[in-house]
Each structure stands twice: as structure tokens, then as C-alpha cells.
Structure 1
Amino acid sequence: MMITARALNRATLARQLLLGRESLDVVDAVRRVVALQAQQPASPYLALWNRLSDFDPAGLDAAQADFRTARTTLMRVTLHTVHAEDYPALRAAMEPVLRASRLGDSRFTASGLTADDARALLPDLLDFADRPRTNAEFGDWLENRLGGPLEPAAWRMLRQYAPLWHVPTARPWSFDSRPPYVAASPRPAPADPDAASEGLKTLIRRYLEGFGPASVADMARFALVGRARVRAAVQALGDALEQLEGPDATVLYDIPGAPRPAEETPAPPRLMAMWDSVLLAHDDRSRVVPPPYRKHVTRVNGDVLPTLLVDGHVAGVWRAVDGGIEAGAFHPLPDHVWNGLAAEAAALTAFLADRDPGVYRRYDHWWAKHLPAAETRLLPG
């Protein structure tokens, strides 16, 4: 079966709840969309605001406070918010990547510790983290255990490898730059190749449910897992996956029966969060990000700006300013699209009002570095 590029776009938008806001419990929504990119604390909130009707941020506050969702280092070795029940399989899938990238990093090895040392240390470290602990508390514990202080950079690598969850602290977006940490519950089993293989099969199924159809390259990029591992997992899944032919005869895989709306299905305008997962989930990002715009949206240091989504594709960027939302379109947009964006901007301004009206303000410096907007409008709040 063949599928067009536009139909791929609509399939992913449907699975990401971006063809129309849906009425879902916050925790159920996190599971539906698989994983919310979360290194900027506001982004999971804005991601859900784009996807849910009548989204109440207090629902996500509560889910994070009682750990029905978990914020932790996972796919692409970066922070994600995931359903707590999905965490064990996702962590098992990512174990080899996290171990190699964090315990093999020169910032960790310069401490004199080895990967074997870290694994031997981990059970007692997690026992200590049976309740929320600050960086200072971990530092004291490690100094006592190791007989000397562990450099901050080495501790950062170790805690990103360890199965630790971030602990919410305060509004506006639950987390600050120095959160406490607590051991994941249940704790993942020690490094186990069989667990990693089974976890990767689960990750692939979950990924396809949320972002498919997709190629082996897409799956590998989403997780930052080697393509050979992904191919082996796809082969092991066998008839549990359906094979399609995508643009340029690319081999794509999908979950049988997963949503694939008609390519003419309308896609409403949206003001997407920074680092929204839908912008980062594929090796071929032209599914959502037109190639000429990719370098404007993803900056040289990896910052992924808040974007305008028009007809299912990135069409510009936005930022919160005094008086509303400044929207810069990369190409001319018709009046009816601007009207739709204006309605979204008014709703977003109201949403931000009692939380953080200047959300993402620290990233405004990118707007001084020649973002090529064909037209810029202030959309009043």
C-alpha cells in the first residue's frame, strides 16, 4: 500500500491530537501522544493546551506531583514527560544508549570512575533517593561514599544515566533549573540485553501509535538508537506491524488499524510549544517542517523555537510580547489563516495570564538574528 507525504502528515497530526482538540484526562493524553519533550518546563503544558479542549494546567500539576507522569532523561538523551506506566519499558529500551552516552562521556570518565563503578554504585544511590533529594544532598552522599567530591559535570552525567525522576517544586510550570530527584518507581532492572530488546519493541510500537507511519530511520532518530537495533526489533515484531510504501519508495511501518485520515482532512492552525515533539520525531522532518524553514526553527545550539503550524506544516514562529503574541510568517498567509491564528493567540494569552505571560522570553535573542519573516503581526490577547 502506498501513502503520500500529505497523508503521512495527517496521520501523524491525528495521532498527536492536532487535527482537533480532544476531551481527555491529562494523564491519558500524555499516554496517547507517547512523550512530551520537556527540557523547557513550560513546553508540556503548552503542548497539551494545543491538543486538549478545556485543558486545565492544574491537572498536569497534579499528575506531576503524584508521579502519574514522569519527567526524566529518555529518548535522544533529553528530558521527556511520559506516562509513569510507560517508563519502565522506555527506560529499558534506552539503557544501552544512556549508558554509552553518559557513562562513556569524558565529563564522567575524567572523574576516574568507570561504567562498572557507576553500576555498582547505583543500587545504594537509589536507596538514598527513596525520597526527594537535592543536588547538595547527593553531593554530600557521594563525597562520603567515594572519599572525595564528585565534579558537578560528572554528577550530571551520572544522574542522567540513573533512573531518577525530577521532583516538582513550584509554579508556574512545576520545575525549575535545579529540581530535587527521586528514584523511579518501580526501579528498572539492572542492565539486561533481553530487557533492552523487549523494551525497544515496546518503544517502537508506542512510537508508531503516536507518530507513525514511519521508517527505520525515523524510529532510530526519535530515540537516538542505532538503526541496526531498530531493524532487529522491527523484524522481531513481524506481523504485528504493517508495511507501507512512502514517498520516494521509502519503506514505512505502522500499527494495523492506526488512524490514517484522508489527506484532504483540514488541519487547524496552532501555536506550537518550543521543542514540540511533533517537530522532532522523524528523520525526515519535512513531514511537518518544510526543508527551507528547518534552519530557522532549529537554531545552531539546538533550540527549537515556538512555531506557527498552518495546514499541518510549520509556517513561521511566535513569541509572547506585551499586548499579545507576535507572529512572524515565513511566507504570505491568507486572511482566514491570520484570523485563525489570532483566535489561537487570544486563547493562549488568556491561558498564560496567571502563569507566565512572558513564556520563553529568555529566547527572544533569536528574533534579533534575522528570522526571515515575510510578515509579522501582533495578535492581541
Structure 2
Amino acid sequence: MAPKTTHPVLGARALNRATLDRQLLLRPASLGIPEAVEHLLGLQAQNTKPPYYALAARLEGFRPERLSALMESRAVARIVTMRSTVHTHTARDAVALRGLAQPGAIDRELALFVSRGGLDGVDLDRLAELARALVEERPRTPKELREELLPHWPAADPQSLSVAARCLLPLVQVTPRGLWERGGQVALTTTDRWFADSDGPAAGGPADLDETVLRYLGAFGPASVKDMQAWCGLTRLGPAFERLRPRLLAFQDERGTELFDLPDAPRPDEDTPAPPRLLPEFDNLLLSHADRTRVVPADLRGRTWSGNQAHRVFLLDGLLAGIWHLDEGKERTTLTLEPFARVTRADRAALTTEAERTLRLMTPAGVPHDIVFATR
């Protein structure tokens, strides 16, 4: 039996600093918004505001109106992709990454609804054909889709019909949904229809798996096979990493898990300063690894949730350290920081500075604000 291969060990702090660097969180990046969205392989967008706060934490001089304008011009869009959850992607990635993610969590979600019996007797190919015609005629809300499809299968579960359409077709959430300070209800059309006149290239098929592995490592590495599987919702990615092994460096974490990385990717010294950062709920930094301890201390696992509600979070020294809330009143805005543990005077000052920066970027000029520290 051959001895187990050993690789250079990357400690938790080294992994933390490398990931923060890839995630543009060690220093504000000068990238344009489309370039940043593509580098990050999309922004979690289960709610409408997280993509804006995600970029505010990462980009120099970010203004939310600029992302909103890109959504209106159809250069970026909201669509279900990784883990069968809504992400904001460029037009190109909306098509490519949706195709890549389809056989993973998206197909599993559809299979779950089939197994529950809500789609008994439903011809899924026919459903996809009818739904495509409906949403390409004009964008439809999920309620409208249900109402239009139900007469064809009156015994079916109405919600299952609209979920099936979303799983079977690459459906974009059209604007004004997701626009800054405007918004609207979810209405859907296909990527083919929505991007026909967009500012960005959208034609093509699913993303190449090997190329996506390299992109994932560029945004989230060093990482294991299971880490990438947790990010995208696909399984059995080991063969892709093996194909790429000659082009990659191999490390291991302190538990002995094999990690892969790009040879020329940044791996800063573990003592590199990591300024405080205010992140939105569902930020991909917290969701894109099977082992999240590089950012989430083991004793804080689960502290960012209350029931089904995810909280906005902040980092201190690169690690999850608390949650924050924003109360945007007509006369005054209050940003409340709730550390999970006692913070030093220096950390309090640094957090206040970062909160001030966030408020300058994300709230109307001239509206007074307060920054408050609270205990849970």
C-alpha cells in the first residue's frame, strides 16, 4: 500500500487571508462592476439588496445606482444558478452557470417536487414547452404561471407547476425586480428572450466544468473538491480536479484535507491585516465551502440565523464576529452593530470607520445617521 501523500500545510489564518484576498475583502478593488461580478462568479441574491452591499464591501467607490443601471440594460440579471438559489450574474454567466448548475441542485429540487406527488400525471416536456411560450410572450409572475398551467393539469399542485417551470427553464427575474430603491414583484422570462437585446454576450451553452473549477479556485481557493461541490450544488467533481492536477498546486489543511489552488493565485502572509467588513445576508463568502471554519469560528456556527432569517454579518480580523442591522427611517438612519463577544476599543473604532464608509456609499447624501453598538 502506497504511503499517503503529504502536501504543504495551510493553517486556518493562511486560508482565511487567501480567501479574503480572492474575495476582494482585504482592500477595496478598482475593478468595474461586471468584472467583479464575473470574478466572484456571481452574487447571492435571495433578497434584493445583498448584491449591492456585497459590492459595497469589495469595490472602491461603488455606487448602487451603477449596478442598478447594469440590470436595466440587461448586462447583469437575477437568475437561479448555484445551489438552486438566486444569484446576480453577468449575462454571459447567467447562461453558462445556469447550464452548469442544472444537473445538480436544480434537478434535485425538481425531483423532490415530483417525489412529493404534486406533479403526478404532468408531462414535464409539455410543461416546459407551454411555460416557455407564456414567459416569452411577456414576463409572467409565478402566480400567473400557475394559473395558466393549472387548466392543463387540474389535479396537480399549483405551486409545483411554477417550481417545475423554474427548474426546467433558465428563467430571469426581469426588472424592476432587484433595482436599487425601486424594486417590484418577481416576473420571469427566459434568458433567450431577456438577453436578446442586452449589452453583454449571452449566447452559448453550459460553462465548461474544468474552466469553472479554475474560476472557483480563483475566487474561493485554496479549496477542496467538497468545497466546490458545496458552492455549486454539483457532486462527483473529483475527476475534474484530477484532470487539472498537473496545472494546480496541492496543499492540505490542518485536518489533512487536500486543497487545490492556482499556482499564481495570491496567498498572503497569515499576518496580513484584514480590516473590518460589513457583509450582507447570504454572502457567498459564508456559503461557498464545505468547511467554513476559515471564516466562521466553530463556536459561532449557526449564529447568523434566526429561524429561516439570515442576518447581515461583520468580520473582525477576517472572521465572523457579529451581526448588523439597518433602520432606514425617513428622518434618520441607524446602523446597529451586535458583536458576538466583547470588542476592543481599537476594533470598535475600526468598525465605526467601516460602518461610516458603508453608510456614505449606500444611503442618500444629507440624511443624518447614527452608529450604535448593542449586545445580544
TM-score range (shorter-chain normalised) is 0.7 to 0.9
Indicate conservation of the 8 Å contact 1:5/1:246, yes or no: yes
Structure-1 residue corresponding to 2:4: none
1:218 aligns with one of 227, 239, 253: 227
- SS where residue 248 of structure 1 aligns? coil
Structure-1 residue corresponding to 2:163: 157
- SS where residue 324 of structure 1 aligns? strand
Indicate conservation of the 8 Å contact 1:134/1:179, yes or no: yes
Structure-2 residue corresponding to 1:306: 312
Counterpart amino acid of 2:17? Answer: R
1:99 aligns with 2:95: no
Counterpart amino acid of 2:228? Answer: M
User: What's the offset of the Cα at 1:129?
Assistant: 2.5
Distance 1:57 1:23, change over 3 A: same
Structure-1 residue corresponding to 2:373: 377
Q: Deviations over 1:288-310 (max 9, x none)?
A: 01111112113443x33111200
| Equivalences for residues 186-225 of structure 1 within 5 A | 199-225=208-234
Taking structure 1 as the reference length, the TM-score comes to 0.82
Deviates more, 1:8-17 or 1:93-102: 93-102
Alignment RMSD, CA only?
A: 2.8
Whole-angstrom distance in 2 between the partners of 1:61 and 1:90: 21
Q: Deviations over 1:119-176 (max 9, x none)?
A: 34324532433343333543454246x2648644113422331210101216545544
Taking structure 2 as the reference length, the TM-score comes to 0.83
The total of aligned residue pairs comes to 346
Deviates more, 1:282-291 or 1:158-167: 158-167
User: What's the offset of the Cα at 1:354?
Assistant: 3.5
- SS where residue 105 of structure 1 aligns? helix
Structure-2 residue corresponding to 1:180: 187
Indicate conservation of the 8 Å contact 1:47/1:273, yes or no: yes
Counterpart amino acid of 1:331? Answer: A
Whole-angstrom distance in 1 between the partners of 2:248 and 2:224: 12
1:345 aligns with 2:352: no
Counterpart amino acid of 2:356? Answer: A
Point out where structure 1 has 5 or more consecutive residues left out of the alignment: 189-194, 358-375
Whole-angstrom distance in 1 between the partners of 2:94 and 2:270: 33
Structure-1 residue corresponding to 2:14: 7
Whole-angstrom distance in 1 between the partners of 2:319 and 2:266: 19
2:118 aligns with one of 110, 114, 117: 110
Distance 1:107 1:160, change over 3 A: farther
Indicate conservation of the 8 Å contact 1:107/1:154, yes or no: no
- SS where residue 99 of structure 2 aligns? helix
User: What's the offset of the Cα at 1:102?
Assistant: 1.7
1:325 aligns with 2:335: yes
Q: Deviations over 1:217-241 (max 9, x none)?
A: 1111112222xx2112222334233
2:31 aligns with one of 12, 19, 24: 24
- SS where residue 249 of structure 1 aligns? coil
Structure-2 residue corresponding to 1:85: 92
1:289 aligns with 2:280: no
Whole-angstrom distance in 1 between the partners of 2:305 and 2:290: 14
Counterpart amino acid of 1:110? Answer: G
Point out where structure 2 has 5 or more consecutive residues left out of the alignment: 1-7, 196-204
Distance 1:234 1:119, change over 3 A: farther
Instruction: Return the structure number with greater helix share.
Output: 1
Structure-2 residue corresponding to 1:121: 127
Q: Percent identity?
A: 32
Structure-2 residue corresponding to 1:280: 287
- SS where residue 315 of structure 1 aligns? strand
